[in-house]
Amino acid sequence: MSDAIRLMLVDDHPVVRDGLRGMLSGQPGFEVVCEAANGAEALEKMETCQPDVVLMDLRMPQMDGASAIQALRARWPAVRVLVLTTYDSDAEIMKAIEAGATGYLLKDAPREELYRAVQATAQGQSYLSPAVASRLVGQMRVPAQEPLSQRELEVLNWIARGASNKEIAHHLHISEATVKSHVLHLFAKLNVNDRTQAVTTALQLGIIDISGSSKTP
């Protein structure tokens, strides 16, 4: 199990945690190392468990998910959090993403999508379920400070699909260092700090859509 993705489950419903544990523990490549019933308990267990990915519900007693994400990221900046919730309102989504969530998935997603989301999150890739992405499309749009180049748009589209820098380099036939440069430039132009925020902002601007096509902003 040394190469398995170490997981912490954070949800105030024991039945949900039991179901997730059974589903993930029975799948090769995943290991549930600890559980918590709320955000405060997750913070207490973080040091001991040292998970690769935290699966976080949003509405919980004592400390909600967004507050827990913010606290986790402040103390452990490299922590990767996949929100797994029933709530898909614009306010809930934006609050979680702004707090530092790496991905956002709804609980009614098929188990195969959950596996993909956990794997992408473990690799530091943003993951937004199509249902969540479609909610963001309708949000208020703001003008981009500077248009993205065609190559930056191509890189952004691959980021939206969950591709790593290495995978993007392979698809576009350029070096990984060049991909990193394009990523930094598009981050600056979109005024964001990470890949999840880049995808979210691009959806808001209408630069990309949930099918992955792009257009000049």
Higher pLDDT, 56 or 140: 56
In-domain check, residue 145: no
Confidence of residue 144 (pLDDT cuts 50, 70, 90): very low
Task: Say yes or no: 175 and 86 in one domain.
Answer: no
Mean pLDDT within 14-41: 94
What does DSSP assign to residue 99? H
In eight-state DSSP terms, residue 213 is -
**Residue of 87, 73, 20, 1 whose CA lies nearest to 42:** 73
Place of tokens 């996949």: 82
Mean pLDDT of 145-155: 84
- pTM metric for this prediction: 0.66
Q: Is the residue at 132 inside a domain? A: yes
Q: What are phi and psi of 57, to 5 degrees?
A: -80, 170
**Residue 214 reports pLDDT greater than 70:** no
Alpha carbon of 156 to those of 19, 79, 194: distances in Å?
35, 23, 12
pLDDT in tens, 162-179: 889 999 999 999 988 889
Closest by CA to 30, choosing from 114, 127, 89, is 114
Q: Return the pLDDT at 170.
A: 93
- Does residue 13 lie within any of the structural domains? yes
Residues 119 and 156 in one domain: no
Residue 213, pLDDT > 50, answer: no
| pLDDT tens-place string over residues 109-123 | 899 999 999 998 998
- The CATH number assigned to the domain holding 82 equals 3.40.50.2300
Do 41 and 89 sit in the same domain of this protein? yes
Give yes or no: residues 44 and 101 share one domain.
yes
Residues 6+ apart with CB under 8 A from 63: 38, 39, 40, 42, 43, 71
Instruction: Name the domain boundary from 136, 162, 181.
Output: 136
**Domain, as residue range, for 121:** 5-136
